[in-house]
Chain A
Amino acid sequence: MKKIQGNSVSSGVAIGKAKIIRKRDLYIERRKIHKDEVKVELSRFKKDVKFVSNELDKLIQDFSYSQENRDILESHKMILQDPEFDKKVSKLITKDLNSLEHAVSSYFSEAVEVFNSMNDMYLSHRVNDLEDVSYRLLSHILGVKKDVLEDIEENSILIMENITPSFVTKVFKKNIHGLCTERGSKNSHSSIIARSMNLPMLVNTMGLMGNIKDGGDIIVDGNNGYLIIDPTKKILEKYKTIYSKEQNVRTKLLKLIDVEPVTIDGKIIKLMSNIEIPQEIDQVVKFHSAGIGLFRTEFLFIDFEDLPSEEEQYEIYKSIAEQSNPNSVVIRTIDVGGDKLSRILNIASEDNPNLGCRGIRISLKNIPIFKQQIRAILRANMQGNIKIMFPMISGVNEIIECKKIIKTCSEELSKAGIPYNSEIELGAMIEIPSAAVISDSIAEVCDFLSIGTNDLIQYTLAVDRNNQAISDYYKPTHPAVLKLIKLTVDNAHQLGKKVAVCGEMASENKYIKLLLALGVDELSVSPGRLLAIKKEIINCDISKIKPKLDKILACKTSEEVDKLIK
């Protein structure tokens, strides 16, 4: 038995047979050739490159692919036709007497290394392209078939070096039990999709590919972040028990799909979903979520080389609004740190990006980009089920600025004769303590408020939640945080406005009762957590916790609070 540590992307246990997919990692024999073979290898090289280029040409001319996809394929073709590629591979064959496959794979591994070493986010994204081209050419040279999913059995756990988002979606349809990758990060798109699908998955599992046998018994322990290879009988039994318990819970939760999220004492809670990428909408619809409480639009801006055009944004927003109709979709305007967009926006590097140009500040300092997003939203709002939410609001001025821009955009659209709908609710994220403190004034100029607990905690307690060294200072139930939430809710209710919580606190079972007792009206959670949180809501009797609320709010430490809410 062997246990390797990885980072858990989504919780849950999966038991099955290892299915290794070496998509990008064909087996290349480091074969040397005889001098007599040089000519043959060189002519194979020319022929194979030509064949694969032609194959790419056919794809490039296939208009069922998006323009973006075709541009990517075009750049792949250029990589194959690069004179340096030709020169270097030919030299590896002629001088170093490497076989064709050896030469091609050496060339690409070296290029990948160079790209990785340049520490440039854009180039490291391009590594995927290099690997794609390399795979395409090598699999042709070696005569490998491509559809790896054909012979996958249902109880498999996929073992891969890395995984693309479209592959996760495909895998899910195949009823795979779990996933484990050697590389990857918790916040990649693939991970987000696995999480919203509740598929047990580990990433960044060190030494994975070298330690595993195809078809061997393995266990993914997503609860503790372990992969167990060749488990002993005892361990296997232990995990089977955990697994069947989890399955039981899951089956019971699935029965809640059509149950309304109403507390025992009769308060209806609006339970919505947070989504980051459009693909997640499938889960939102499947679990009958009451709409989307937070659609993060960052993926549009971070992943692409160019900024998304108004048209591209419009298409995406429209499609999400249509799929959610009649439920509402809260679109949050771009919310990233300037560091992530420095390439595009030409923002100087900052000593303290968390307190720097991020969230609404980026939008207000780059009006043309902000206007593009607003126009796209207004145009997509033809059914009237979209709401706009602004991130990183520190005071009233920002909202007033935003409103002016919405007005300008409406006027511009009218003038241009483009259909739009400016009947749209506006909300502010409450995540900076100043905004919570003056939430009465903020609520006056907004239609709703949404508390982003992650940042509210981070800024209130001055603790970076990703800094392991001080993670014990990150306390969701710190009395200061609770007081700010209470203040925000009370202020909004005074004006008859609703308050949602869309931070991670709303996704954790143990905090639900507390949030509801504090008076929160709406919760927005990741689609994978919808049913578990719904269960928490329907088992909650707010009238029973309310009397304890004064005591909770009077606590001096988060430990005291935690004891009371247990």
Chain B
Amino acid sequence: MIRKKIKIVNKLGMHARPATLIVKTATKFRSEFKIIKSDMEINGKSIMGVMTLAAEFGSELELVADGVDEKFLIKEITELFAAKFGED
């Protein structure tokens, strides 16, 4: 299992487009994928879950992946965050 803390740096926070990208990317992999924000834990492959995170600019999330391809999943998701989901 891999856990990784990450900060949201795109201005829109975690909204539809970023949420769609996260789910699309995560779904490619076989590992289980969760996102935790303070006391809330959601399935990172669920669009409804990721949208309800409503995470704002600057807030911190924890990514948790568990499975054979967990390393690659975390890598690609981290890249999405770093690239600000292609915004700006």
Chain A residues close to B by CB (< 8 Å):
71, 74-75, 78-79, 82-85, 111, 114-115, 118, 120, 122-123, 126, 305-306, 343-346
Contact = CB atoms under 8 A, between A and B. Distances in A.
Ranked nearest first, the 10 interchain pairs of A and B with the lowest CB-CB distance are A84-B46, A78-B47, A120-B54, A82-B46, A82-B47, A82-B48, A122-B15, A84-B43, A83-B45, A346-B57
A306 B46 contact: no
B61 interface: no
A123 B47 contact: no
Interface residues of B, number: 21
Given A305-B12, A305-B15, A344-B12, A74 B20 contact: yes
Interface of B: 11-13, 15-17, 20, 23-24, 43, 45-49, 51-52, 54, 56-57, 87
Contact of B11 (A74, A79, A85, A344): A344
Contacts of B12: 305-306, 343-344
A392 B26 CA distance: 46
Nearest to B49: A84
B57 to A, nearest CB: 6
B54 A75 contact: no
B71 to A, nearest CB: 22
A120 B55 CA distance: 10
27 contacts: A75-B16, A78-B20, A78-B23, A78-B47, A79-B48, A82-B46, A82-B48, A83-B43, A83-B46, A84-B43, A111-B48, A114-B52, A115-B52, A122-B15, A122-B16, A123-B51, A123-B52, A123-B54, A126-B51, A305-B12, A305-B15, A305-B16, A306-B17, A306-B87, A344-B11, A344-B12, A346-B11
A134 B53 CA distance: 21
A84 B23 CA distance: 12
B45 to A, nearest CB: 6
Contacts of A84: 43, 46, 48-49
B3 to A, nearest CB: 21
Contacts of B17: 71, 305-306
A463 B12 CA distance: 33
B59 to A, nearest CB: 12
Nearest to A107: B48
A75 B18 CA distance: 11
A70 B52 CA distance: 22
Contact of B54 (A71, A78, A79, A118): A118
A77 to B, nearest CB: 9
Contacts of B11: 343-346
Contacts of B54: 118, 120, 122-123
Contact of A343 (B13, B49, B52): B13
A85 B43 CA distance: 11
Between A75, A85, A111, A115, the greatest number of chain B beta carbons within 10 A of the residue's beta carbon is seen for A75
Nearest to A78: B47
Contacts of A71: 17
A74 B17 CA distance: 10
A126 B54 CA distance: 12
Between B13, B16, B54, B56, the greatest number of chain A beta carbons within 10 A of the residue's beta carbon is seen for B16
A538 to B, nearest CB: 51
A70 to B, nearest CB: 12
Contacts of B49: 82, 84
Contacts of B13: 343
Contacts of A115: 51-52
Given A75-B20, A83-B45, A126-B51, 12 more contacts: A71-B17, A78-B20, A78-B24, A79-B47, A83-B43, A85-B48, A120-B54, A122-B54, A305-B16, A306-B12, A306-B87, A344-B11
Nearest to A77: B47
B44 to A, nearest CB: 10
A114 to B, nearest CB: 6
Contacts of A114: 52
Contacts of B24: 78
Contacts of B51: 115, 123, 126
A346 B8 CA distance: 13
A118 B46 contact: no
Nearest to A79: B47
Contacts of A74: 20
Nearest to B58: A346
A115 B15 CA distance: 13
Contacts of A111: 48
A115 B54 CA distance: 10
A368 B56 CA distance: 22
A262 B52 CA distance: 57
Contacts of A123: 51-52, 54
Nearest to A345: B11
Contacts of B23: 78, 82
A530 B57 CA distance: 44
Contacts of A346: 11, 57
A78 to B, nearest CB: 4
